Chain A
């Protein structure tokens, strides 16, 4: 998290340049390479690979039962302590059941081995039935816009906030939080417990939900 609160010089608008990942693996490497990066606080860990796990779509597995028919998720849920799994392109995000453990290394090693076995086996990451039932981007966009208009925005409007749908790619949804939500210390909670739940309930085929809000640049945060 960016802890500064950048404010532009008088009369100038502050913009962001893309941050280039200096430690990304070269995709051309023959060897499967996996880097694990626990998030601050340790509630989840992001795994980045030099291979695509799932191209064009993303998928969130909230439980062991939801993994039925998806070999990679089945293997991951067989590991002790795996709570949820999100697969997107060459990235995997795992949350753990035991929130008191902050050392991800033992579980991350097991997940790394499961990922390697999956890639060597060549099985698809996602059950065929899920891909066959996948609605169009337009269908997902309409469903998400509806839940934003009817449920999410009326809820966050009480704090002067708003949520905007920036786009849908495959079944990956990108949003931006504005007004009082931008820079709010509770924005992450609102996103994960409120918005994610509302989106997935209304549109069950939603995969990853990306937040492109620059919370460090909020000029009118709720707690200012």
Chain B
């Protein structure tokens, strides 16, 4: 597991939004994002990030405290120690007060054209 220096996230909300706050779970610590911009209403785009500088045993986006949050797409940019920066795109997911969605993905396996 590489040390996670920083991650940034872009969340595109679908049909059903949430008033917030937008929080993530890092190793059982629930925190708000730094540099948060935009919104999480229907059709809105939220961006934020966090300087972790630690090992992410758990990294997840926490669901809303009430209602359902339909996320159309998420992009997470990872800046880890000893690996080149990489981005992961996640597809649709719906969160509620009983769920959180995993954000961590290892760096992609190299591929080449033949």
- Which A residues lie at the B interface, using CB under 8 A? 1-20, 22-23, 33-40, 47-48, 105, 108-109, 111-112, 217
Task: Using known A-B contacts A3-B1, A38-B109, A40-B109, determine if residue A8 contacts B100 with beta carbons closer than 8 Å.
Answer: yes
List 7 interface pairs A-B (beta carbons < 8 Å), by A numbering.
A7-B57, A12-B100, A15-B99, A20-B90, A40-B109, A47-B114, A105-B112
Tell me which of A1, A13, A112 contacts B106 (CB under 8 A). A1
Tell me which of B58, B87, B104 contacts A22 (CB under 8 A). B87
Q: Are B110 and A37 in contact (CB under 8 A)?
A: yes
Residues of A within 8 A of B1 (CB): 3-4
Q: Are B111 and A20 in contact (CB under 8 A)?
A: no
Q: Kindly provide the distance from the CB of A40 to the nearest chain B CB, expressed in whole angstroms.
A: 6
Q: Are A22 and B114 in contact (CB under 8 A)?
A: no
Q: Are A9 and B25 in contact (CB under 8 A)?
A: yes
Residues of B within 8 A of A9 (CB): 25, 28, 30, 60, 62, 100
Q: Are B62 and A7 in contact (CB under 8 A)?
A: no
Q: Kindly provide the distance from the CB of A147 to the nearest chain B CB, expressed in whole angstroms.
A: 31
**Chain B contacts with A in 65-100, Cβ cutoff 8 A:** 71, 73-74, 87-93, 95, 98-100
State the CA gap A34–B56 with chains docked (Å). 34
State the CA gap A91–B97 with chains docked (Å). 39
Residues of A within 8 A of B74 (CB): 17
Q: Kindly provide the distance from the CB of A29 to the nearest chain B CB, expressed in whole angstroms.
A: 12
Q: How many A-B residue pairs have CB under 8 A?
A: 108
Additional A-B contacts beyond A4-B1, A33-B113 (7; CB < 8 A): A6-B58, A6-B59, A9-B25, A9-B28, A12-B62, A13-B98, A20-B90
Q: Are B101 and A3 in contact (CB under 8 A)?
A: no
State the CA gap A35–B108 with chains docked (Å). 14
Query: Size range of the interface on B?
Result: 35 or more
Q: Determine which residue in B73, B93, B106, B114 has the highest number of CB atoms from chain A within 10 A of its CB, and name it.
A: B114
Task: Using known A-B contacts A6-B104, A20-B91, determine if residue A36 contacts B99 with beta carbons closer than 8 Å.
Answer: no
Q: Kindly provide the distance from the CB of B103 to the nearest chain A CB, expressed in whole angstroms.
A: 9
Q: Are A4 and B112 in contact (CB under 8 A)?
A: no
Q: Are A4 and B57 in contact (CB under 8 A)?
A: yes
Q: Kindly provide the distance from the CB of B24 to the nearest chain A CB, expressed in whole angstroms.
A: 10
Q: Kindly provide the distance from the CB of A209 to the nearest chain B CB, expressed in whole angstroms.
A: 20
Q: Are A35 and B102 in contact (CB under 8 A)?
A: no
State the CA gap A33–B112 with chains docked (Å). 11
Which residue of chain A has its CB nearest to the CB of B60?
A: A14
Which residue of chain B has its CB nearest to the CB of A25?
A: B113
Residues of A within 8 A of B56 (CB): 4
Residues of A within 8 A of B63 (CB): 12
Q: Kindly provide the distance from the CB of A8 to the nearest chain B CB, expressed in whole angstroms.
A: 6
Residues of B within 8 A of A3 (CB): 1, 106
Q: Are A39 and B104 in contact (CB under 8 A)?
A: no
Q: Are B111 and A35 in contact (CB under 8 A)?
A: yes
B105 part of interface (Cβ distance < 8 Å) = yes
